[in-house]
Amino acid sequence: MKRTLKTIGVIAIMGTMLTGAYLIGTTKAGVMDGTNEEFKNNYVDMRNVVEFKTD
């Protein structure tokens, strides 16, 4: 009985952690393309800092 409860608890905790990680990953993930207003106001464009050129 004790082992069964422990197994159920471990599975429940792992499920909760996986669900939380998924939700954090999907809500925080976003592509900053450099044309977004939030990007221009809050982030330094490293392409300008290192003089990155695409030929």
List the chain pLDDT tens, one digit each, 55 residues: 889 999 999 999 999 999 999 988 777 656 666 677 777 777 777 777 777 666 6
Domain boundaries, the chain: 2-49
Q: Residue 20: how many CA atoms within 13 Å on its side-chain side? A: 6
Give the per-residue pLDDT at 37.
Answer: 78
Tell me which long-range contacts 37-46 makes (C-beta under 8 A, separation of at least 24). Answer: none
Instruction: Name the 3-class secondary structure at 23.
Output: helix
State how far Cα 20 lies from the chain centre. Answer: 11
Phi, psi for residue 36 in degrees, rounded to 5: -70, 140
